[in-house]
Amino acid sequence: MIEYIKGELAELTPALAVVEAYGVGYALNISLNTYTAIQGKSEVKLYVHECLVTGGRDDSYTLFGFFNKQERSLYELLITVSGVGANTARMILSSLTPADLCNAIANGDERLLKGVKGIGLKTAQRIIVDLKDKIVSLGIADELHVGTSTTTVPVNTATRDEAVSALVMLGFSPAPSAKVVTSILVSQPDMPVEQVVKMALKQIK
């Protein structure tokens, strides 16, 4: 089992980080929160969740990387909820900060969870019911200092292609992704790429 990977940040997009350690490049799927946290760094340490899928035509082995243990713990809790798979959990952590997610679960805020693309009322309710006690018992909410705000790291505003690429990697079609991203950047040209993707996740039909 891989606990974490530490090394040179060789490549970075809003959805994927490639970390080179001892001559091996590890591709890790990441959330926008992790992207924001490691952007601009030359060396990183990402905590790993390994996802092995077997039984289909092709077996797959995927690594998910997280900036800290708290985000990884939230991800691992999310994928235990019925109806929440690996990509859905990553999308939740790309749309909400870990602190905001804990707040939503602790306060039973179905509306905030429903604002995440692909999350309906029933799934939002299951997340709250299944995880409310767990985030308290595991101490995740306390570790994240729930109730505090986070600051988004600004990036170069020429982000249209990067944002569209991230949305495509999250499973959306290129054409509607490009349309929504372009619309967002026309109205808010200085918006950083991770915020563009977060906003687009709420608007793509």
Tokens of 100: 């905001």
Which tokens hold the place of 110? 């179905």
> Residue-wise pLDDT tens for the chain (205 aa)?
899 999 999 999 999 999 999 999 999 999 999 999 999 999 999 999 998 766 556 667 899 999 999 899 999 999 999 999 998 999 999 988 888 899 899 889 999 999 888 899 999 999 999 998 888 766 665 555 554 334 333 333 457 888 888 988 888 887 778 778 888 888 788 888 889 999 999 888 6
Nearest to 113 by CA among 73, 143, 83: 83
Both structure tokens of 108: 């039973």
Dist CA 128 CA 105 (whole Å):
5
What is the structure's pLDDT at 147? 46
* Separation CA 130–CA 80 (nearest Å): 9
Query: Is this prediction's pTM over 0.75?
Result: no
DSSP class of residue 190? T
Q: In 4-37, which positions are buried (b, 16+ CB within 10 angstroms) versus exposed (e)? A: ebebebeebebbbbbbeeeeeebebbbbbbbbbb
Contact 38, 13 (CB under 8 A): no
Residues β-bridged to residue 4:
47
Alpha-helical regions (H) of the chain? 32-38, 69-78, 86-95, 98-106, 110-114, 121-137, 140-143, 160-169, 174-187, 193-203
